[in-house]
Structure 1
Amino acid sequence: MNIKTFFEFSLKTFFILCFTFSFITLSVYFTLLFKPLYYMDINVLNIEDSTNLNKGELKANYDYLITYLTKNTSEEFNLPTLPSSDHGKIHFKEVKVIFDKLKVMLFFSILVSILGVLVNKRHKKIRYLLRSSIVLIIIPIMLLIPFIINFDKSFTVFHQIFFNNDYWLFDITTDPIITILPQNFFFHCSLLIIFSIIIISITLRCIYKAQYKKQHSL
């Protein structure tokens, strides 16, 4: 492989990674902002009974959490009707930092993706759609297997990777927010993210097939 070929291969790989990363990140944000999932789980997981909070209080605290994590704000974390410990506040601040960094990465990857799509369109290349579709179908399978085998362990490993402390291990007496966010809710969030990625993968494959037929019918 000469330098030119290697350079072209690297650019194509970088584009595919940014292109797929954009869709994966958008799936994460879609799930985060899709409040109906939590509203449904209030009933499905009997959260009212397990917390002794009514649906209005549960929604108010959850809505505040999502707003805090997604909005450009530097305010201190203070739930509407629930107390939070110093460690709890630090943890959610760290989570917010992660999402803020993810926003920047998403913006950059979208710019690269747009540029890559325009270049491929100019040269009438559509192979990237099929490759991206394959990558996006492999990732959910890789994620789904450990989630199904042992979600508890996967949940723990996830936090150990992204956080360098144990502040995410909440004490319900000082951080009762953990009671309104049962682990099964996070499992449902994971499934929605994976489902969204699969739908995107199928859509890209369909677009590829349509474009392929169009090119070969001329």
Structure 2
Amino acid sequence: MNVLNGSIINCFSVTFIIRNIKAFIKFLSKAVFISSFIFSFLILSVYFTLLFKPLYYMDIGILNIENSSGLNKNELKSNYNYVITYVTQNTNEEFNLPTLPSSIHGKIHFKEVKVIFDKLKIMLFFSILLSIIGILINKKRKTIRYLLTSSISLIVIPMLLLIPFLVNFDKSFTTFHHIFFNNNYWLFDIKSDPIITILPQSFFFHCAILMIFLITICSITLSFIYKKAKKSHSL
């Protein structure tokens, strides 16, 4: 009798463990998929903002960058375009601005920025890949809940980012650099790295606002798709 009871208990324990392992794997796979799905939109928003040169061209006039830098509009565009090309394209060339000098520390900083964006490219690739796999699995299972979860997450993220940006952008800007860089090479000397004069902090604030706007649009779009899909499923 004791042997029988022991066998039943052991069988129950094994079944319980297997069930929990399966539940954990299912939860983990969902978390990985939704995280990848969200990261895809976040990274794409970053890249869109970075490559959206009209924002800087517009800020040349709004922020009066010609006067503060002493450069004309063509020079400003040329140097800015070089920076964007350098940090986004696959190249091992040394950082050399068209018409402005750069210090060793300045060149190292932009190299570090480039490394960050190179890593973002890799993250974007795998995020999109996992997202596609997850979407196909959810489509097969006829579930659309991930759209709502992602939509809510994407609306919460910009709200959380917007608060510190609006309260104290200077501190947020500094904190950002402390998180992503393990040195102070980003603190440029205007004499050795005059590029700081063509990239005012207000411009980065406008970039942050554009990214938050894009993320919000993505959230609204996903919410709309979810509601439309849910309505069609209920018919």
TM-score band w.r.t. shorter chain: over 0.9
CA distance in 1: counterparts of 2:44 and 2:99, whole angstroms: 30
* Root-mean-square deviation (Å): 0.7
**Residue 114 of structure 2 is aligned to residue 114 of structure 1:** no
Give the TM-score normalised by structure 1: 0.99
2:71 maps to 53
Amino acid across the alignment from 2:202: N
Give the TM-score normalised by structure 2: 0.91
Q: Deviations over 1:117-167 (max 9, x none)?
A: 010011111000000000000100111100000000000000001000000
Which of residues 139, 142, 152 in structure 2 aligns to 1:124?
142
2:156 maps to 138
Which of residues 202, 206, 209 in structure 2 aligns to 1:188?
206
Amino acid across the alignment from 2:45: S
TM-aligned CA deviation for residue 6 of structure 1: 1.7
2:9 maps to none
1:216 maps to 234
2:8 maps to none
1:173 maps to 191
CA distance in 2: counterparts of 1:51 and 1:2, whole angstroms: 62
1:152 maps to 170
**Percent identity over paired residues:** 71
1:43 maps to 61
Q: Deviations over 1:7-61 (max 9, x none)?
A: 1111101100000000000000000000000000000000001111100000000
**Residue 118 of structure 2 is aligned to residue 96 of structure 1:** no
Amino acid across the alignment from 2:104: D
Amino acid across the alignment from 1:74: N
2:3 maps to none
In structure 2, the gaps of 5 or more residues are: 1-18
CA distance in 2: counterparts of 1:183 and 1:26, whole angstroms: 22
SS at match of 1:66: helix
**Residue 84 of structure 2 is aligned to residue 69 of structure 1:** no
2:7 maps to none
CA distance in 1: counterparts of 2:178 and 2:109, whole angstroms: 13
In structure 1, the gaps of 5 or more residues are: none
CA distance in 2: counterparts of 1:139 and 1:9, whole angstroms: 22
CA distance in 2: counterparts of 1:168 and 1:72, whole angstroms: 22
Amino acid across the alignment from 2:24: F
**Residue 220 of structure 2 is aligned to residue 206 of structure 1:** no
CA distance in 2: counterparts of 1:168 and 1:5, whole angstroms: 46
